[in-house]
Amino acid sequence: MSHPPSASALAELTQALAANAERYDRSGQFPADNFDLLQRHGLLGFTVPRHLGGGGADLASARQVVAAVGKGCPSTALILVMQYLQHFRLQDEDRWPEHLRLQVARAAVADGALINAFRVEPELGTPARGGLPATVARRTAEGWRLSGRKIYSTGSHGLTWYLVWARSDDQDPLVGGFLVRKDTPGIRIVEDWDHLGMRATCSHEVQFDEVLIPLDHAVSVSPASAPRAELDSTGLLWMAVLLPALYDGVAQAARDWLVQFLNQRAPSNLGAPLASLPRFQDVVGRIDTLLFANQSLLNAAVTGQVDPRHAGQLKHLVSRNAIQAVELAIEAAGNPGLSRRNPLERHYRDVLCSRIHTPQDDVVLGHVGRAALAEVAA
């Protein structure tokens, strides 16, 4: 397994990404400079196996990188998380043709080629709650002709590969991922991503109009009558660690800003920094305790001490603690914390987005509650 960059190298990476974060937040443009930097550090192929030239990173190493990137620029980190989730077990995916698995992996290592799955649709919403896609792949003599719309397509402009969740036009349709190069004719990006936070993820709508792809690009499909889960227990745990690790990084950045602000701000009627007051010492203590809990949970997960059955609870707890930590920082800072001249308001907007990722809180807590009540009933 590959080791992540050293702590000092990760700190330098965070600092470099943070220097661009405000600019990309305001413009909403794809953070291309950031991905050039990550590629120079060999981090875009970090979860590609070593025998293919990648880093062969395990979950612990990937988590450290994601946390450092999230602390600097969470929009960049979210796209990176999707890259890591696609690659960490791609070579074990028996439904993919081998030549495509190798092509995608080697492009990630050599060129920093990015990939993400596009699943959410305007009418259906997220497939995590069931249903079939409206996006259809029509079988022709030339190959598949893919048509449909995907929303919240994270990374859209900067990706090389789209893994499009669709269904075939067969009587028993094949449902799953169809691999599409971004530069294939018939693809249109509708720049409609204008959200509260995570503004540089370019999670725009992507439209497909009779897009032609080879038949073997139906890479991870199964008959609707015999569906296969997109993620197994290991994949769920990876997602439940990497996504909240990103937002814990945001909370760490908010904490660091607040500590610096409290040490520097010395009101004339106090004659000492705000950091000298017990009220603010208590707030920072509360924040650090929340972040300590997060580190303990994430450390346990990456060292095999969390059963994958609890992946959803892990995501819920770490995300909730991160949000609460930033809220405490906002309350303590007052008006300066809400000023766009300071990064704390951006951290707040970004960390709130953690609630939206699958699995959402009602799904997680409902599942846990039903399981507990079923045990008693049995």
The 10s digit of each residue's pLDDT in 316-374 is: 999 999 999 999 999 999 999 999 999 999 999 999 999 999 889 999 999 999 999 99
73-101 pLDDT, tens digit per residue, is: 999 999 999 999 999 999 999 999 999 99
192-236 pLDDT, tens digit per residue, is: 999 999 999 999 999 999 999 999 999 999 999 998 888 899 999
Beta bridge partners of 188: 207
Q: How far apart are CA 211 and CA 137, in angstroms?
A: 9
Beta bridge partners of 164: 118, 178
- Ordered by where they begin, the domains of the chain are 7-113 (1.10.540.10), 116-223 (2.40.110.10), 233-377 (1.20.140.10)
Residue 1 has pLDDT above 70, yes or no: no
pLDDT at 378: 64
Question: What is the pTM for the complete model shown?
Answer: 0.96
231-243 pLDDT, tens digit per residue, is: 899 999 999 999 9
Q: How far apart are CA 217 and CA 205, in angstroms?
A: 22
Taking residues 259-282, report their average pLDDT. 96
Give 41 or 3, the one with higher predicted confidence.
Answer: 41
Q: How far apart are CA 124 and CA 149, in angstroms?
A: 11
State the alpha helices, DSSP H only, in the chain.
7-27, 32-40, 59-72, 74-87, 98-111, 233-264, 278-302, 311-333, 335-338, 344-352, 361-377
Q: What is the pairing mode between strands 161-168 and 136-139?
A: parallel
Q: At a CB cut-off of 8 Å and minimum separation 6, what does 365 contact?
A: 316
**Per the structure block, which two tokens stand in for 257?**
């800003």
124-183 pLDDT, tens digit per residue, is: 988 877 789 999 999 999 999 999 999 999 999 999 999 999 999 999 999 999 999 999
Sign of CA dihedral 129, 134, 139, 142: negative
Per the prediction, the chain carries an average pLDDT of 96
Backbone angles phi, psi at 224, to 5 degrees: -60, -30
Q: Which helix (H) or strand (E) holds 162?
A: strand 161-168
Which residue from 192, 253, 288, 229 is spatially nearest to 67, judged by alpha carbons? 253
Q: How far apart are CA 359 and CA 260, in angstroms?
A: 35
Please state the three-class secondary structure of 229-242 as a single string.
CCCCHHHHHHHHHH
Rg over CA atoms, the chain: 22
Q: 243 in helix, strand or coil?
A: helix
